[in-house]
Amino acid sequence: MSALVRVLRRAWLVVLVVAAWELWTRYAEEAYFPPPSTILPALRDLWFDGPPSLLFLNETARDDFAASLGHLFGGWLLAGAAGVLVGVLIGRSTTAREVFDPVLEFLRAIPTPTLVPFFIVLFQLGATMQIMTIAFGVIWPVILNTADGVRGVDRLQLETAQVFGLGPVRRLVEIVLPAALPKIFAGLRVSLSFALILMVIAELVGSTSGIGAQLINAEHSFELPTMWAVIVFLGVLGFLFNGVLLLIERRFLGWHAGARQTAS
Amino acid sequence: MIRLSPPRRVLHAIIGIAGAAGLAELAARAGLVDSEVIPPVSVVLRRAAGLLADAGFGDDVAVTLEGWIAGLLLAVAVGVPAGLVLGQFRALSAAASPLVEFLRTLSPVSLIPLAIVMFPETFQMKVFLTFFAALWPILVNTLYALRDVDPVAKDTLKSFGFGPLSVLWRVSLPSAAPFVMTGVRIAASVGLIVIVSGELLAGDGTGIGGYITETQSSGGHTDLMLAAALWTGVIGVAANSALVRMERRAFRWRAAA
């Protein structure tokens, strides 16, 4: 019962806003603001009128999602791997940090969307351009967080390990990386939400397939309900990604003393 | 405030920058990469300096700055009062938080096509996008900052007979202000990214984003594209450090800020 009250206490405004939106848009009949009862069917018609065995995904959805999410996770994983590598390198050595920090800060300061046209010339239109745009844009939080986490490793633990004869590789794998894990994870979570944004912008600027391309198609054919449907879907996707990563973080890093401060 | 850095650090920084620039320059000069596509660093820097004298680019920068600042100011004007109102009523802020959380994950970039058809005037479109991107960091930071206000200070004023508005003005607002400022700083950097993205897609060739798109379509001079991207980064860094300096000056009394 108290759980129900708690849910109601948090949900009433959402219900109220959606209801008000429905009522107002029906009353106003403004073409730019379709009611939710029009947006949801548009979303179904666009992607979700497929067979139940395929989670209702239709053919368009299977193509679009495979392309977009493939680029998204491709770029994110690439940035994750490279970012952890560079982050460990920079975090372990003060000299390396002092040498690379200014260069990294400089590259990080350039807004990635302004580089999309350059990446289009460099990689041509296609998967490589999309993946590289995402990877370039989201690598910075991973590098910075990894370096930060690695720097915070307990010196005593490292020296103890050295006394016990653990080599540098084992020290890295068994002490440094586990200690830095919560920070690395927080960096990856921030990166994933950036990756979604960059996926959309890269597809809006230069692509004919994928989720962002549907948005452009809807713009050109003035299909406002479809446009709203894609926007809502992207919002839900962002919400889910963040939620899933938080869940993984709590599930697997719950034991970690350093995990509590980064989980929010 | 000038802080003297230890010379070793400066030396390392110079080695890093010079090394990276030198390697990139060498790779382009030696033909390891196609210098038509990836121009040497020296060429990009020369183009960037050349853009300073280019009146057309100056106008584009001015257009971007105008839209960016207008959107930010609008977001402050809406976000701070909204945060204050929500922060006053615990029940309201609990109910608003799922809504705010959802709207803030909604990437403003996905709203660009909608904003383009909705606002026939490009400038309004850009102000709206910047506003929408900037609103959430400011609103959320205001809301969280109000939660952290020292309850003892509030209760003390209350027991001396100060009304709720007076408590808000004398205690809550000053104590929340530095954190709100941090929200404004985040909003400024997100806002710049979003407004330039909007310009890339608006198709009327105005603003920094418009300049880059036009350069791309008129022969794809990557050196000019990179030079314009470079200036965008410089603008972002300059704005951020200006805001930090403002923060330090305004909240000097607060050691933690």
Instruction: From first to last of the 257 residues of chain B, give the pLDDT tens digit.
Output: 455 556 788 888 888 888 888 888 888 888 777 777 888 888 899 999 999 889 889 999 999 999 999 999 999 999 999 988 888 787 788 888 888 877 877 778 899 999 999 998 999 999 999 999 999 999 988 888 887 788 888 888 888 888 888 888 888 888 888 888 989 999 999 999 999 999 999 878 889 999 999 998 887 788 999 999 999 999 999 999 999 998 888 877 665 44
pLDDT in tens, A49-100: 888 888 888 888 888 999 999 999 999 999 999 999 999 988 888 888 888 8
Among B17, B98, B208, the residue with its CB nearest the CB of A14 is: B98
Same-domain status, B54 and B111: yes
Q: Under a CB-based contact definition with an 8 Å cutoff, are residues B157 and B171 in contact?
A: yes
Same-domain status, B128 and B211: yes
Same-domain status, B230 and B110: yes
Same-domain status, B25 and B141: no
Among A11, A215, A222, the residue with its CB nearest the CB of B110 is: A215
Q: What secondary structure, in 3-state letters, does chain A show?
A: CHHHHHHHHHHHHHHHHHHHHHHHHHHHCCCCCCCHHHHHHHHHHHHCCCCHHHCCCCHHHHHHHHHHHHHHHHHHHHHHHHHHHHHHHHHHCHHHHHHHHHHHHHHHHCCHHHHHHHHHHHHCCCHHHHHHHHHHHHHHHHHHHHHHHHHCCCHHHHHHHHHCCCCHHHHHHHHHHHHHHHHHHHHHHHHHHHHHHHHHHHHHHHCCCCHHHHHHHHHHCCCHHHHHHHHHHHHHHHHHHHHHHHHHHHHHHCCCCCHHHHCC
Interface of A with B in 25-64 (CB under 8 A): 32
Q: What distance in Å separates residue A164's CA from the closest CA in chain B?
A: 34
Same-domain status, B130 and B16: no
Task: Check whether A18 has a pLDDT greater than 80.
Answer: yes
Query: What pLDDT, on the 0 to 100 scale, is given for residue A257?
Result: 57
Among A13, A222, A227, the residue with its CB nearest the CB of B95 is: A13
This prediction's pTM: 0.86
Query: What pLDDT, on the 0 to 100 scale, is given for residue B71?
Result: 96
Same-domain status, B97 and B204: yes
Q: Do A111 and B112 touch (CB under 8 A)?
A: no
Query: What pLDDT, on the 0 to 100 scale, is given for residue B3?
Result: 57
Residue span of the structural domain in which B24 resides: 1-36
Banded pLDDT at A264 (limits 50, 70, 90) = very low
d(CA A257, CA B111) in angstroms, rounded, equals: 40
Query: What pLDDT, on the 0 to 100 scale, is given for residue B254?
Result: 63
Task: Check whether A135 has a pLDDT greater than 90.
Answer: yes
Query: What pLDDT, on the 0 to 100 scale, is given for residue B29?
Result: 83
Same-domain status, B142 and B86: yes
Please state the separation of Cα A72 from the chain's center in Å. 8
Interface of B with A in 105-124 (CB under 8 A): 105-107, 109-114, 116-118
Same-domain status, B29 and B106: no
> What is chain B's Cα-based Rg?
23
Q: What distance in Å separates residue B69's CA from the closest CA in chain A?
A: 17
How many separate domains does chain B show?
2
Same-domain status, B15 and B57: no
Pick among 1.10.3720.10, 3.40.50.300, 1.10.275.10, 3.30.540.10: CATH of A59-263: 1.10.3720.10
Task: Check whether A109 has a pLDDT greater than 70.
Answer: yes
Same-domain status, B92 and B204: yes
A vs B: CB pairs below 8 A:
149
Averaged pLDDT of chain A: 87
Query: What pLDDT, on the 0 to 100 scale, is given for residue B257?
Result: 41
Q: What sections of chain B are H helices per DSSP?
A: 7-29, 41-52, 55-88, 90-105, 112-118, 122-147, 151-159, 164-167, 173-202, 207-217, 222-250
CA distances B253 to B35, B154, B175, B181, B241, Å, are: 53, 19, 11, 15, 19
CA distances B43 to A177, B25, B35, B49, B58, Å, are: 41, 9, 10, 10, 20
Q: Do A98 and B112 touch (CB under 8 A)?
A: no
| Coil vs helix vs strand at B1 | coil
B99 to chain A, any CB pair closer than 8 A? The answer is: yes
pLDDT in tens, A186-208: 899 889 988 999 999 999 988 77
Same-domain status, B120 and B26: no
Q: What distance in Å separates residue A157's CA from the closest CA in chain B?
A: 28
Q: Under a CB-based contact definition with an 8 Å cutoff, are residues B197 and A113 in contact?
A: yes
